[in-house]
Structures are given as structure tokens and as C-alpha cells.
Amino acid sequence: MSDRIREINRLGQAIWLDFISRELLGGGDLRRMIDAGLTGMTSNPTIFQKSIATGHEYDRQIRELVHRGLKTPAIYEALAVEDVGRAADQLRGVYNDTHGRDGYVSIEVSPKLAHDTAGTVAEGRRLFGAIGRPNVMIKVPATVEGLPAITTLLSEGINVNVTLIFSIRMYEKVMEAHLAGLEKLVAARKPVGLVASVASFFVSRVDSLVDKLLAAKAETTPEARALMGKAAIANARIAYSRFQDVFGSPRFAALRAAGARVQRPLWASTSTKNPEYPDTMYVDELIGPETVNTVPPGTWAAIIDHGRPQRTIDRDVDLAVAHVRRLGELGIDMDQVTDQLLREGVKSFADSFEELLADLERKRATIEQTVGAHS
């Protein structure tokens, strides 16, 4: 295991990979990363779009699925289910060794269902059943319509990764949905000990938008430039403080007594978008107990090379609150910022999903034409 990854693990944080591809799964790279301390994986429509659209790793299976008469959405689902299942198998040892704490692979419901509660529940059930591994999480977006789906899926013993969380206000609702799901399990006298959930709180995108707003104010308000690059970490540290309150409460103590696990905050979107910022900034500044950080391959390599493991997640929380307050005084409302980021996040994943389906449709049409020409 990498020394830096080991130290981060010792401080209570798991490092997961925010990437998946056939090449990674089949070439031994994932096994080497697991040996170095990786304990989970996440995927999303953008990741699958990049993986499936580039190269030829998927071509053989696509041809087989076309010959079976599958339509484009079913072809995508078959490819994704295959990848997630293979990744889950390679991470099963981590799942077993940690007694279900880690070793998970996440797969997202269709972005088209972001505002469809019943559709999200139905697809979450189907995907979890189709993959058929206990160490899989179903990703559900943190929309108003997603909240009851989170409760329902958890109440049925399905692991959930709540994605696209930007605001403290929504994060509190996500934790409420988690507790409600577990309470339904307990009330039904079903075991809760192996039901896992993470709350994916997006980080770098907050700075990307807030920095843009601060830059527009810098000419008239010199202080604005000094505030850049700090909003995302402040927002995450405030979120962690809320996490400590909720999961340190008497309400959760009753669930813990029944064997329930906390819903760990997962820091997502942690690659640095601004080249002027350190490339491990959103890892180094958010390390602490009962957390996960999911990183792309480049950030994983950077952590191993020069990450700075130390407990930082609950450092200077009062300053974080003061920072957000000062942004408000300058006319930057974090609720408006995070509402915009959620809308953009849902749209971005939906656009990637549509692009992926279009790519697959073109491949399917080409294969059918080739078959027709030779028949």
C-alpha cells in the first residue's frame, strides 16, 4: 500500500476512484490500485460516455448485443452492468475485509429520471438486481424528487450513493432521507448492518463558479480576489459539521444500536480545475474520519506522489462559516450558487447520456448495415 494512502486511511478517509473503463478492468491496473490502497469506485454518465466512445474495447460486445436485437438504451445498460459487475468482483475482497464498509462500485440511474421519483426507484431496483452483487451502490441525484427515492431504496436494503449535492440545505434533507430509510428497515425488522450509503458532496465546481463571480467584483472590491479558491472547502467543512451533528444525535444512536452505519460524506469533483491551485488541494484540505474522497486517475497519482495526509476536515470551521457570510455580504448567495450548480450538474450528465446514446446508435446502425450488406 502507498504510504500516503495508508496514512489517509489511518485518518479515517477512504480513497475511491472516479473512473471506470474496460482497459482499467482488464489490464491489471485496477488490481494494482487496490493493492496500493484504493477501496472503491464511482461512475457517472460522463465517465461512461468517454470510456465507450473512445477506443474499441466495447466493440465486440456491442456487435453481440446488436445481433441479439437489443435497442440502444438496452445496449448501454448491458455495457454498464458488465463493467460495474467486473469492478465489484475485483473489489469484493475489500468489501469482505472491511465487513461492508468499503469495496463499493457506484452506477447511476438515467439522468432523464432526475425529477422522476417512481422511475428512479424502479430503475434503481432493476440495476441493483441485474448486477447482483452486494457491493454495488445506486447513484440517485439530490433533487427534490430524488429524496423519497433515496428513502425507498434504502428501506429495501439497496445501497445508495446520493450524487450532485452542492448545498448545505439539500445535504440536510439527504441525511433526513437516509435516516428515514433506515428507520423503515428497523420498523420492518429487517437487518440494517450491511446497508451502506454515501452522500456525494461536490467540491471544485463550487470554486469554479464562485471564483468567476468574485473576479467580476475584483475591480470595485479588492478583497474579492483574496476570497477566491476558498468557498468550496468552506462549504464542505460546514457540511461535515452538519454530518457530525446529525450522526452524533440521539436519533441516530437508536439506529446505531440496531447496527446501522453512518452515511459517510463523499467529496466528489475533487480534481483541481484552476491550474493555479495545488493539484491535491481538494484532497489535502478535506481529510477526516468517516469520509470518502473519490478522485480521477490523475489526482490519485498526485496523492501518491505528493499528497499531504493530515486531519483537516474540521479545521477552522468558524472561519469557513465567516467566509460564506462574507460572500453573502458581497452579494454572492451560496444558496443561489448551489442551486445553479445542481441545475448545471443534472444537465451536464443528461447531455453526456444523450451523447453516449447517440454514439451507440451510430455504432448500432453501422453494424446493422454491415450485416444487411452481407445477407
- Cα distances from 55 to residues 24, 52, 86, 325, in angstroms, run 13, 7, 19, 48
Please state, for a pLDDT cut of 70, what percent of the chain lies above it. 98
pLDDT of the residue at 1: 79
Mean per-residue pLDDT over the chain, rounded: 95
pLDDT at position 180 is 98
Can you tell me the mean pLDDT for 288-303?
97
Please report the pLDDT score of residue 374 as a whole number. Answer: 53
Cβ 90 vs Cβ 31: under 8 Å: yes
**What integer pLDDT is reported at residue 365 of this predicted model?**
85
DSSP 191-234: --TT--EEEEEE-HHHHHHHHHHHHHHTTT-THHHHTTT-HHHH
Residues 6+ apart with CB under 8 A from 240: 265, 286, 288, 291, 313, 314
How far apart CA 15 and CA 194 sit, in angstroms, is 20
Rounded CA separation 36/356 (Å): 32
Q: Cα 31 vs. chain centroid, distance in angstroms?
A: 21
Per-residue pLDDT tens over the stretch 313-357: 999 999 999 999 999 999 999 999 999 999 999 999 999 999 999
Domain containing residue 9: CATH number: 3.20.20.70
Question: Could you give the CA distance from residue 231 to residue 227 in angstroms, rounded to a whole number?
Answer: 8
List residues bridging with 291 in a β-sheet: 13
How far is C-alpha 80 from the chain's CA centre?
16
The β-bridge relationship of strands 264-268 and 291-295 is: parallel
Q: State residue 273's pLDDT score.
A: 92
Convert the pLDDT of each residue in 84-136 to its tens digit: 999 999 999 999 999 999 999 999 999 999 999 999 999 999 999 999 999 99
41-55, 122-136, 269-283, 286-300, range with the lowest pLDDT: 41-55
Q: How far apart are CA 3 and CA 312, in angstroms?
A: 18
Cα–Cα–Cα angle for 232, 213, 144, rounded to 5 degrees: 60
Return the beta strands (E) in the chain as ranges.
Answer: 13-18, 40-42, 104-108, 136-141, 160-165, 197-202, 264-268, 291-295
Whether 51 shows a pLDDT value over 90: the answer reads no
Q: Is the dihedral of CA 240, 242, 243, 244 positive or negative?
A: positive
The domain total for the chain is: 1
Element holding 306 (H helix, E strand): helix 297-306
The catalytic residues are: 139
Position 375 pLDDT exceeds 70: no
| pLDDT band of 75, cuts 50, 70, 90 | very high
Contact 86/24 with Cβ under 8 angstroms? no
Cell numbers that stand for 139 in this block: 447513484
Looking at this protein, which amino acid is placed at residue 201? F
Residues 6+ apart with CB under 8 A from 70: 78
Structure confidence at residue 53 (pLDDT):
78
Check residue 54 and report its DSSP letter: S
Domain that holds residue 213: 3-373
- With a CB cutoff of 8 Å and minimum separation 6, the contacts of 118 are none
In the Cβ-directed half-sphere of 22, how many Cα atoms lie within 13 Å?
Answer: 18
pLDDT of residue 370: 73
